[in-house]
Amino acid sequence: METVLSGIRSTGNLHLGNYYGALRNFVKMQQENKCFFFIADYHSLTTHPDPKLLHGNVKNVLTEYLAAGIDPEISTIYVQSDVPEVCELYLLLNMHAYMGELAKTSSFKEKARKHPDNINAGLLTYPTLMAADILMHNADKVPVGKDQEQHLEMTRKFARRFNNLYQVEYFKEPVAYNFGNELIKIPGLDGSGKMGKSEGNCIYLNEDPKSIEKKVKRALTDSGPTVPNSPKPDCIENLFTILKVVSTDDVVAHFEEKWNTAEIRYGDLKKQLAEDIIKTIAPIRERILAIQNDDDYLHKVAMQGREKARESASKTLREVREIMGIRSF
């Protein structure tokens, strides 16, 4: 049985991008693998969140993992900061992570450009912490969206470097759990390339139908095709990308045909898209509402997860310390 690890930062509520990037097909994923799902609260600290809001955001992600269908009796769900072993592994891996390669990562360059007043060391070493998360359970597969591809590549590099340096075959080189397709990128409704919390263009799993309808209605479109079989502009391609994950093949084929014959009416496309997003989210939203205030249940799940995650993490750390020659008297 292979080990799968999925992580989501605790920066707010989960959106469609998180769902399709990291959780799609979770039933199969959980049945066929030993799965860990965790909430990356340390990672969220790079942007200096309000301490009063941090725990609430961790709770949101925990609730939404469960509501999306992660079963705590089959899988391990835990909070990153509940497993302190990750900090030591992060420190040890940092000894073999080079300034140049960290500074070259696209996510670092982008964040540094957007927030020149907060280019902290946590941001620079973000990929090492992510590698520590993954290598701590020696995961074979990591379900991620397209935006995390480079981080995963760095994890493989760190694993390989460790093995070569200490002449061991200890860490596996994890690959993306890609659900049988290319890594996915769910676009924003604003014509931008990516749905993301910091982009402010998300549809959230706990969003109410009225608000979804409003957002979809307002999604950016152009004036429409004038000749048959024209290429789609980005904003329209984006709507089709979302349609392809939430709607049936028949529905997609219908709108593709309308596009190709230049008869498409964006109002119809948006109405269908909103309807199918609402339908996809409805059962998740219902479960979110049912468990979000059940603090006893959430506490129980988090403590159970912490226990199981620490067991796996401390084993890895013991072995890594041994390999690196760290011994206590």
Task: Give the residue numbers marked as catalytic.
Answer: 111, 194, 197
With CB under 6 A as the contact rule, the residue among 4, 22, 29, 189 that binds ligand TYM is 22
Binding mask 80-119 for ligand TYM (x = CB under 6 A): ----------------------------------------
134 forms part of the interface with ligand TYM (CB under 6 A): yes
Q: How far is the CB of 28 from ligand TYM (least distance, A)?
A: 17
- Near ligand TYM by CB under 6 A: residue from 124, 135, 144, 154: 144
Binder among 133, 140, 207, 276 for ligand TYM (CB under 6 A): 133
Half-sphere exposure in the Cβ direction for 147 (13 Å, CA) = 16
Interactions with ligand TYM, residue window 2-21 (CB under 6 A): 5-9, 17-18, 20-21
32-51 positions binding ligand TYM, by CB under 6 A: 40, 43
- Cα–Cα nearest to 215, from 15, 12, 13, 8: 15
Helix crossing, 149-165 with 106-114: angle to 10°?
130
Q: Which tokens hold the place of 262? A: 């230049």
Q: Does 284 sit near ligand TYM (CB under 6 A)?
A: no
Q: What are phi and psi of 218, to 5 degrees?
A: -85, -5
The verdict on 174 binding ligand TYM (CB under 6 A) reads no
Q: How far is the CB of 22 from ligand TYM (least distance, A)?
A: 4
> Please, which of residues 175-214 interact with ligand TYM by CB under 6 A?
184-186, 194-196
Give dist(CA 18, CA 138) in Å, integer. Answer: 23
CA distance 309 to 143: 18
132-168: buried (b, 16+ CB within 10 Å) or exposed (e) per residue?
bbbbbbbbbbbbbbbbbeebbebbbbbbeebbeeeee
> What is the Cα 184 distance to its own chain's centre?
11
Residues that bind ligand TYM (CB under 6 A): 5-9, 17-18, 20-22, 40, 43, 130, 133-134, 142, 144-145, 147-148, 151, 184-186, 194-196
